[in-house]
Structures are given as C-alpha cells and as structure tokens.
Amino acid sequence: MESRSRSMHKLTAKICSFLFLFLAHAAHCFYLPGVAPEDFQKGDLLKVKVNKLTSIKTQLPYSYYSLPFCPPKKIVDSTENLGEVLRGDRIENSPYVFKMRDPQMCTVLCRITLDAKTAKQFKEKIDDEYRVNMILDNLPLVVPIRRSDQDSSTVYQLGYHVGLKGQYSGSKEDRYFIHNHLAFTVKYHRDPQTDSARIVGFQVKPYSIKHEYEGKWNEKSRLTTCDPHNKRTVVSSNTPQEVEAKKEIIFTYDVEYQESDVKWASRWDAYLLMNDDQIHWFSIVNSLMIVLFLSGMVAMIMLRTLYRDISRYNELETQEEAQEETGWKLVHGDVFRPPSNSDLLCVYVGTGVQFLGMVLVTMIFAVFGFLSPSNRGGLMTAMLLLWVFMGIFAGYASARLYKMFKGAEWKKLAFRTACMFPGIVFAIFFVLNAIIWGQKSSGAVPFGTMFALVLMWFGISVPLVFVGGYVGFKKPAIEDPVRTNKIPRQIPEQAWYMNPTFSILIGGILPFGAVFIELFFILTSIWLNQFYYIFGFLFLVFIILLITCAEITIVLCYFQLCSEDYLWWWRSYLTSGSSALYLFLYATFYFFTKLEITKLVSGLLYFGYMLIASYAFFVLTGTIGFYACFWFTRLIYSSVKID
C-alpha cells in the first residue's frame, strides 16, 4: 500500500532526475546512468534487496512480502523510476546480511508457524510456479542449471521457485514443499593492487529441508540438520519442508564467495546469453537476407517498369500520337482528390509520425547501450518520455496534410491527434489495470502514477501537438503536381485480385515476414521473463521493416493506379498497416503453443496488451506505407507531361 500512496511531487522528481542523469551521462557511453561500478573492501556490508514474485503462468507479479517471508525490522521501498513502477517492480530491503568475502553457513533468518491462511497462500504460489527475485549490486539473482545436451553448458534462470509439488515414496497424493534454505554464491572480481572487489555474479541453489533442533526453540538454538560447527551443511533435500497449517518453518541461508576472472563490464554476459545464440543469429540473418532479396527484386521491377511507362507517355505527347491516355496516367485528374474521412487520415498519419520518431530515437539509444537490461525500467521510461516530446512532430505532420486537403479547423484536428490514439490505449490500459488491481497484484499501477501519466499527456504532449499543428498549418500548403477535376471519374470494375480487401491483406504479409523471427524473441522476453538484449539486430530489422513497408505499398499502389482506381489514400495506409493483423494472429498462435496460461484474468491481460501492441504496430507501419505512396504518386505524376 505504501507504493500506491506515493505523492505526486516525488514521482515528478523521479522523472526529472531521470532526464537529468540521462543527459548528464550521454557523453559517457561507458557507464549507464545509475549503474556505475562500486568497489567493496573485505567485510563491507552488502545490501541484498528483494523484488517482485513473478510467474509465467499467471503474468501477475506480487510484492515479496505478500507472502509471509521473513521481514526486516522495517520494510523500506527503494526509489523506483516510472518504468519500474509500470513493470510492477517493487524493490524493497531484506533481512539477509552479507559481508564482502566473509562466508556464512547455516545462518538462521527466522522461524514462522503457518496458519491455514498463510499455508494456502504458499500453496497457491507454488501451484502457479512463482519465482522469488532478488538483487545484489544491481545484479538479479539467478539459478544455474546444467544442460543435459552434449555441450553441457550452464543456463541461468531468473529467480528461484517459491517451492515445488511432489509425492512421498509410495504415495500418490501431491504435497507442497517450500524452499526454505538458500545457498547463495557471490562472485567477485578482485583488484590485486587495492584488494578491493567488484561483484560480478549472484547465484543461488534453493533447498527444501525440514530443520530440526534440540529442546525448545530460542535465538541461540543450534540446528541439528544444518550446523557449521559439526560441519553439517545442507547439500540435498532428503527431508523436505512440507507446507501445512500449524507446521513451523525455519528459514536459513549460506553465503559463499568465489573469485572470478569476469570483469565488471562483462558481468551481464551470463544473463544475456540465456537463449541459443546460434539459432537466433541464423534465424535473424536468414530473415534479413530473404527480405533484402525480395525488396531488391521489387525495386528493380518497379524502376524498369516506371522508366518504360514514363518514356512511352512522353514520347507519345511529343509525337502527338496519343489518341487516348491509358493506365495510371488516365486518372491524373482524380489521383489527388481528397479522400473520404480525410480528417481521420490526418490524425492517424500524425500519430504514426510521433510513433516512428519515438521508436527510432529509442532504438538508437538502445544500440549505444543506454537502455540495456542493467538500467532497470529505463527502456519504458525513455519510450514514454520520447512519446510525449514527439507530440510536436505529430501536430506538424497532421496539420500539413490537413491544409493540403483544404481543411480550416486545425485546432480541432490537433486536439484529435493528441487524444485519439493515446485515449484508446489509455482506456484499454485502465481496464487492464483495474483487473490487475482486483487480483491485488503489485503490477497494478498506483493512482499517483496514473495521475502522473495523465499529467504528462495533457500537460506536455497535448500542448506540443498544438505547437506543431500551429507551425504546420502556417506553412504554405503542399501543391499537387497536377490539377484535380471537379467531377470525379467513375472507377471501372476491378479484377478479383485488385479487390481492396484482398490487396490490403496481401500487402501486410511481407512486412510481417520481416519481423516474424525477431517477434518470437521479443514475445519470449516479455512473457517468459527473459532479457532481450540484441538491439543491434532489432535496429537492422526495423530498417528492413521500413523498406519493406514502403516497397510493397508502392508496388500495390502502382497496380491499383494502372487499373484506373485512384482511391489510394486510405488503401496505402491500410496495405502496410494490415501487418498488424498478422502480428495479432501470431500472438494468438504463440499464446496457445508456447505459454501455459490457464487463468482467465491472465489471458485477458495477454490479449489486452497484445491488442495495444498490434494497434501501435498498425499506426507505425500504416504511416510508413502512406508516406511512401505519397512520395511515389507525386514523383510519377510530376515526371510526365500533362496537358
């Protein structure tokens, strides 16, 4: 409840501090804001923090102390940025006491006795396969697992399971067991000159052990199941700790320190190499080569065809042999006629420009390492701030197009541009947040944060859209290369393959194919709780997406104009934008084949967030296709002689 009641001025200060740190450290690409290395001397106190409980089965995070784990004397929330709050991170202090390079064995944390309510809570979390996440020196806790294949490499899973389900020998009844003993391993890189050390690894092996002791329990009681004096430590779970009402649980831990050759700058490598690298690289390169080859073929065909058409038309004009115009030149008097619902088209184009600017700048920062996983919550914070400040470009783009369509009420258009897309997304997000709140999950965005988002929207983004709209509307109107007839030309009956619905659906396949492989890894990182780190590849895929959207839209627009159908404005937007439909269909396929979500609430959250992602993808790709067609039609109609 403390996190939900944060005051507004505190959140505003966080946002401002993020901006200041981001700009201040921009020149120093070596270290990321807030994650500069920290040196520890022998015996220095290490702060172990606990984060949210996560499950890939429910996708609902909970705070660590929502379960009756051992609490410290006073629970203190760590300062979180906007992105961390939206991700559901709840970073708090813990009762674990680590001292640098000072090993500990069988340290007793606390002893609790379960009642019916707490036993039920533990069982529910074990059923849903929840993991406990911890942080030491900004490194997340991982469980090393040896692979059983030929290379016998080690993979790392984020966090350890709360417990497990099993059966006693000779029994078929499922029992619940809790991981109450944690064997921590802290890896460090030592500087031989100063004898100081930097933490480069944080690992754990969890055990379930039913601790025993002699006599009545007190703070000085020795455990007979885990006693460093008798050199008896926990190395297996032969007598696991069962979760049942009225049963006591003693939480213990070990801390081992291992010197490592891994340097501080490379300490994240183990976390970022969880997937099979070779398959990932091969898939990405294969996808890029196919898309580049197809794009090259399309570009070559288009250039040759257009060159032949323009030469033939101009030849006929000079030789006065043109009895009747044919093909795309025939509709020159209607091709720049304003479309129906032109205001809405302007709104979506402006929003797409805003989204394109946000994605482009975010990826550039990510490629240079400013938004790596070590900068927790930085990616989401940067995207929100960039979206807000890119509002000026949204207003400018929509107003310029609006004036070309002979529009006059630019203020009304600017308001729609500022509110339509964010309003729809915010409405969906608000409903999903209410569902999460109903589940008492820490993933629910607090009221203060929601108010801050609305404040950023109406306090910064909306005014910037109006500023951009004012500047764009004051610019001279874009002039058409040809005159528009007063009476619309009748469109002849089209062949079945030129049907708008068919051509629009066909047009979205190639852009979706450009991001298909990368989409799998992005969904895996989001919904299976893994890190996504190959922003360089993602940037290349994004560039390929831009090229593919532009080329496929130009090709289909050319075929459409050759069929004497001049209604290209909306179709150009929808052709590449239809790739969002395939994205949502793939997300549905991924849900049923890769995820183990069984709860209705979790399913609603998944499809709700994927609907937002697909809608954003539609706006982005649609705008790219629209501007490609806009440039193409102006180019070809200004290249031929029109009487």
Q: Report phi then psi at 62, rounded to 5.
A: -130, 150
Using an 8 Å Cβ cutoff, are 528 and 56 in contact? Answer: yes
More confidently predicted of 84 and 470: 470
Does 9 have pLDDT greater than 50?
no
pLDDT in tens, 10-65: 443 443 444 334 333 333 333 344 457 888 888 889 989 998 899 988 888 999 99
More confidently predicted of 30 and 476: 476
More confidently predicted of 453 and 480: 453
For tokens 């996983």, the residue is: 373
Going from the C-alpha of 612 to that of each of 417, 445, 608, the distances in angstroms are 17, 17, 7
Contacts of 171 (CB under 8 A, 6+ apart): none
From CA 122, how far away is CA 329, in angstroms rounded? 72
Q: Is 250 helix (H, G, I), strand (E, B) or coil?
A: strand
From CA 29, how far away is CA 188, in angstroms rounded? 24
Q: What single string gives the DSSP state of each residue in 405-456?
A: TT---HHHHHHHHHHHHHHHHHHHHHHHHHHHHHTT-TTSPPHHHHHHHHHH
Q: What is the pLDDT of residue 125?
A: 92
Q: What is the pLDDT of residue 59?
A: 87
More confidently predicted of 566 and 49: 49
Q: Is 139 helix (H, G, I), strand (E, B) or coil?
A: strand
**Partner residues linked to 232 by β-bridges:** 227
Q: Report phi then psi at 254, rounded to 5.
A: -115, 155
From CA 577, how far away is CA 575, in angstroms rounded? 5
From CA 274, how far away is CA 138, in angstroms rounded? 18
Lowest mean pLDDT among 142-146, 341-345, 472-476, 570-574: 142-146
pLDDT in tens, 397-417: 999 999 998 888 889 999 999
Does 369 have pLDDT greater than 80?
no
From CA 162, how far away is CA 177, in angstroms rounded? 9
Closest Cα to residue 4, out of 387, 544, 440?
Answer: 440
Does 609 have pLDDT greater than 90?
yes
Q: What is the pLDDT of residue 346?
A: 94
Does 97 have pLDDT greater than 60?
yes
Using an 8 Å Cβ cutoff, are 129 and 157 in contact? Answer: no
Contacts of 579 (CB under 8 A, 6+ apart): 508, 509, 511, 512, 549, 617, 618, 621
pLDDT in tens, 376-398: 777 888 889 999 999 999 999 99
Average pLDDT value for residue range 317-326: 50
Q: What is the pLDDT of residue 316?
A: 58
Average pLDDT value for residue range 171-184: 87
Q: What single string gives the DSSP state of each residue in 142-190?
A: EEEEE--STT--EEEEESEESEEEE--TT--S-EEEE--EEEEEEEEEE
Average pLDDT value for residue range 167-183: 84
Cβ atoms within 10 Å of 271's Cβ, excluding its own: 19
Query: What pLDDT band is residue 1 in, cutting at 50, 70 and 90?
Result: very low
Q: What is the pLDDT of residue 16?
A: 41
From CA 75, how far away is CA 434, in angstroms rounded? 26
Average pLDDT, the chain: 82
Using an 8 Å Cβ cutoff, are 560 and 499 in contact? Answer: no
From CA 376, how far away is CA 138, in angstroms rounded? 9
More confidently predicted of 495 and 56: 56
pLDDT in tens, 254-305: 999 998 888 888 888 777 754 555 655 666 676 677 677 767 766 776 676 6
Query: What pLDDT band is residue 323 in, cutting at 50, 70 and 90?
Result: very low
Q: Is 30 helix (H, G, I), strand (E, B) or coil?
A: coil
Going from the C-alpha of 62 to that of each of 53, 364, 439, 570, the distances in angstroms are 5, 33, 10, 45
Q: What is the pLDDT of residue 246?
A: 85
The angle that helices 600-637 and 342-367 make with each other, rounded to 10 degrees, is: 110
Tell me 567's DSSP state: -
The answer to whether the Cα torsion of 122, 128, 132, 133 is positive or negative is negative
Q: What is the enclosing helix (H) or strand (E) of 272?
A: helix 269-272
Contacts of 150 (CB under 8 A, 6+ apart): none
Using an 8 Å Cβ cutoff, are 294 and 546 in contact? Answer: no
Tell me 74's DSSP state: S
Q: Is 400 helix (H, G, I), strand (E, B) or coil?
A: helix
The angle that helices 569-577 and 535-562 make with each other, rounded to 10 degrees, is: 140
Q: What is the enclosing helix (H) or strand (E) of 197?
A: strand 197-207
From CA 183, how far away is CA 206, in angstroms rounded? 6
For tokens 């976390």, the residue is: 271
Lowest mean pLDDT among 8-17, 80-89, 420-429, 452-461: 8-17
Lowest mean pLDDT among 204-208, 308-312, 324-328, 334-338: 324-328
Q: What is the pLDDT of residue 604?
A: 93
Q: Return the half-sphere exposure (C-beta side, CA atoms, 13 A cut-off) of residue 442.
A: 23
Q: Is 282 helix (H, G, I), strand (E, B) or coil?
A: helix
Average pLDDT value for residue range 83-95: 82
Lowest mean pLDDT among 4-8, 24-28, 111-115, 606-610: 24-28
More confidently predicted of 307 and 609: 609
Nearest-Å Rg of the Cα atoms of the chain is 30
Q: Which two tokens stand for residue 368?
A: 């240079």
Closest Cα to residue 12, out of 430, 460, 362, 333?
Answer: 460
From CA 124, how far away is CA 1, in angstroms rounded? 22
Lowest mean pLDDT among 73-82, 241-250, 561-570, 592-601: 73-82
Average pLDDT value for residue range 60-82: 85
**Partner residues linked to 202 by β-bridges:** 186
Measured CA angle at 633 (ends 628, 634), to 5 deg:
100
Average pLDDT value for residue range 108-135: 90
